[in-house]
Amino acid sequence: MATVHLTIGNRRYSSWSLRGWLAIRLAGLEPDTDVIWLDEPGYKERLAAASPGRTVPVLRDGDLVVWDSLAIALYLAERHPGLWPADPRLRAEAYAVTAEMHSGFPAMRAALPMDLSCSDPRVPEPAVAAEVARIAAIWSRPEAAGGPFLFGAPSLADCAFAPVASRFRSYGVPLDGRAAAYAETLLSWPPFLDWETAAALETHVIENP
């Protein structure tokens, strides 16, 4: 495997870092990873030094620097065929739902922050419930030929939604049918399990992430 460098935040909490890392693994690359602990004094200065956007994740491929999880996904897709669905119609849908996930669902993000060690069932408020229903509708599309992921084989769309499946598990968000099966597919995806195993070894705890 080729090696690239990825700077991430705490694995337990950083959903954006998880998306970037999954995209790299989907591309068949093995990232050399370092962590900026987002709960330590001076972390903002470290972010500024690592990322022009002052965010994680940050990909370094030789002397090239790419920040933002969606930009990383697009960069990888240009260089590694097969990260989007092959069918043009499915590919267009995958673009749309990935972009929707990247820019949307603010109420869900605020109320149900990613915390891989959390188990705290909650009743979502109406604004959150509406966004959860939209996500469940996306996940309920008919299973595509070629596999149980959103468009059959694993794609960058699945990288975008994997952190959401972990949020729904943490906060006891009920799903049924195809949406529930898809969430289980994401939560049992080997790259996600690798991330979760590494997260369990981290000792940094952020109160009220």
Contacts of 176 (CB under 8 A, 6+ apart): none
Instruction: Confirm whether 203 is domain-assigned.
Output: no
Its pTM stands at 0.95
Q: At residue 119, does pLDDT exceed 80?
A: yes
Mean pLDDT (whole number) for 41-53: 92
Mean pLDDT (whole number) for 190-207: 94
Give exposure, 2-20, as e/b (b: 16+ Cβ within 10 Å).
eebebbbbbbbbbbbbbbb
Peptide bond before 126: cis, by omega within 30 degrees of 0? no
Considering the domain architecture, whether residues 72 and 94 belong to the same structural domain is answered as no
Determine the Cα–Cα distance for residues 85 and 68; give it in Å rounded to an integer: 22
Provide the CATH number for the domain around residue 44: 3.40.30.10
**Which two structure tokens, joined as six digits, stand for 61?**
């491929």
Q: What residue numbers bound the domain in which 166 lies?
A: 88-193
Considering the domain architecture, whether residues 136 and 187 belong to the same structural domain is answered as yes
Domain end, chosen from 47, 81, 115, is at: 81
Contacts of 194 (CB under 8 A, 6+ apart): 25
With 0-12 CB in 10 A as exposed, 13-18 as middle and 19+ as buried, what is 88?
A: exposed
What is the per-residue pLDDT across 59-81, written as a single tens digit (0 to 9) for each? 999 999 999 999 999 999 999 99
Instruction: Confirm whether 201 is domain-assigned.
Output: no
CB 157 within 8 Å of CB 185: no
Q: At residue 2, does pLDDT exceed 70?
A: no
With 0-12 CB in 10 A as exposed, 13-18 as middle and 19+ as buried, what is 208?
A: exposed
Q: At residue 52, does pLDDT exceed 80?
A: yes
Q: How confident is the model at residue 1 (pLDDT cuts 50, 70, 90)?
A: very low
How many structural domains is the chain composed of? 2
